[in-house]
């Protein structure tokens, strides 16, 4: 009988320990809920598709974001539905301080280097109805240089964008965002554009509808209010599916813009629909 006593006693103690741990976790969750009046984030990923979301990583979080855009679907099997043509962007994002996120990236579209900052001004809570986040970025086009354009100035390679991101989580399933945007392009190709529009203003809209614990439908549209008549470029849009798998978020999307940089897709969306994806990994 003695040889069975220790295993039986260990089993009983383990059951009580697990139950006590569950009770403690429930109690901690209840305390956290009562003390933290902030709503859950409106979006799971840093982007809705191309458009920035109001999500910012917690202090000390390092994110890797890989964005991939294939060629236009309309080219058919000549380019294997665009798979033979691709644009890739790799971005690192880090939050040194709570509510402030900095990033650097390289995109193959125009061989662009970019740096960006994202700052949280306010979070949705019982006392405040919306999330407010500011975003600004500087992009440098390294594809063009003085060997091609002898009169080129260094500042001509730069473009800028600033946004105020305003979002609200209306329910457990639905979130929506509005993004007033300013874009400055120092250099524009007048062989393509009917007139120069260095200063541009746009208004972005984006939403997320939660399908399950790990999946959601996302959609966005950005209306460029200052696009000149006769411009070959279109207002950008994107729609697709978010899939969360622990430390990763996979965003499968269709869009009409090759570039995933703000100055690229807001000013120069080509109009032809193409397939792409974003992969977000937090460390």
Question: Number of helices and strands (H, E) in the chain?
Answer: 2, 12
Q: Measured between alpha carbons, how far is 128 from 118 in angstroms, rounded to an integer?
A: 20
Q: Are 32 and 92 found together in one domain?
A: no
2, 237, 245 from 68: Cα distances, Å: 65, 16, 19
| 2 and 125 fall within a common domain | no
Question: Residue 89 has what pLDDT?
Answer: 97
What are the tokens at 113?
């280097």
Instruction: Judge contact between 69 and 258, C-beta under 8 A.
Output: yes
Within this chain, do residues 226 and 139 fall inside the same structural domain, yes or no?
yes
For residues 269 and 257, is the Cβ–Cβ distance under 8 A?
Answer: yes
Dig out the tokens for 168 from the structure.
Answer: 């609200």
pLDDT in tens, 219-251: 999 999 999 888 999 999 999 999 998 778 999
DSSP category for residue 234? B
The verdict on 132 and 183 lying in the same domain is yes
pLDDT reported for residue 32: 38
One domain, residues 80 and 136: yes
Task: Find the CATH number of the domain harbouring 243.
Answer: 2.40.160.40
Alpha helices in the chain (DSSP H): 2-35, 262-267
Give, for 227, the enclosing helix (H) or strand (E). none
Q: Are residues 231 and 192 in the same domain?
A: yes
Quickly list DSSP for 37-84. -BPPPS-SSSBSSSSB-S--PPTT-EEEEEEEEEEEGGGGGGTTTTTT
**206 and 90, same structural domain?**
yes
What's the predicted TM-score (pTM) here?
0.83
Residues 183 and 44 in one domain: yes
What letter does residue 152 receive in the DSSP assignment?
-
| One domain, residues 142 and 20 | no
What sign does the CA torsion over 271, 167, 102, 33 have? Answer: negative
Query: For position 16, what pLDDT does the model report?
Result: 38
Looking at the structure of the chain, the number of domains it has is: 2
CA dist., res. 253 & res. 87, Å (int): 14
Does 145 share its domain with 16?
Answer: no
Q: Are 203 and 225 in contact (CB under 8 A)?
A: yes
CB 267 within 8 A of CB 255: no
Residue 130: its pLDDT value, please? 96
pLDDT of res. 246: 77
**11 is in which domain, residue-wise?**
1-36
Instruction: Collect the ranges in the chain with pLDDT lower than 50.
Output: 1-35
> Which residues, other chains included, contact 212 with Cβ-Cβ below 8 Å and sequence gap of 6+?
none
Q: Strand 248-255 and strand 174-185: pairing?
A: unpaired
Residue 249 · residue 45 · CB < 8 Å = yes
Q: Got the DSSP string for 200-213? A: EEEEEEEEEEE-SS
Give DSSP secondary structure letters for 176-190. Answer: EEEEEEEEEES---T
């Amino acid at each position: 009988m003695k040889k069975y006593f220790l295993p039986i006693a260990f089993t009983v103690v383990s059951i009580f320990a697990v139950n006590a741990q569950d009770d403690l976790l429930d109690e901690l969750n209840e305390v956290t809920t009562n003390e933290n009046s902030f709503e859950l984030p409106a979006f799971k990923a840093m982007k809705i598709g191309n458009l920035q979301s109001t999500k910012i990583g917690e202090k000390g979080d390092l994110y890797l974001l890989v964005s991939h855009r294939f060629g236009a679907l309309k080219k058919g099997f000549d380019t294997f539905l665009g798979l033979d043509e691709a644009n890739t962007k790799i971005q690192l994002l880090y939050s040194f301080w709570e509510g402030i996120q900095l990033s650097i990236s390289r995109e193959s579209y125009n061989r662009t280097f970019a740096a960006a900052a994202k700052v949280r001004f306010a979070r949705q809570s019982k006392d405040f109805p919306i999330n407010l986040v500011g975003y600004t970025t500087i992009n440098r086009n390294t594809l063009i240089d003085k060997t091609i354009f002898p009169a080129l100035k260094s500042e001509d390679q730069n473009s800028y964008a600033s946004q105020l991101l305003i979002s609200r989580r209306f329910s457990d399933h639905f979130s929506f965002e509005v993004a007033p945007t300013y874009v400055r392009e120092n250099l524009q190709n007048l062989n393509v554009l009917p007139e120069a529009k260095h200063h541009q203003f746009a208004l972005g809209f984006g939403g997320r509808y939660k399908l399950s614990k790990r999946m959601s439908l996302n959609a966005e549209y950005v209306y460029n209010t200052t696009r000149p008549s006769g411009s070959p470029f279109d207002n950008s849009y994107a729609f697709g599916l978010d899939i969360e798998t622990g430390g990763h978020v996979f965003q499968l999307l269709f869009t009409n813009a090759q570039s995933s940089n703000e100055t690229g897709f807001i000013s120069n969306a080509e109009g032809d629909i193409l397939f792409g994806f974003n992969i977000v990994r937090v460390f």
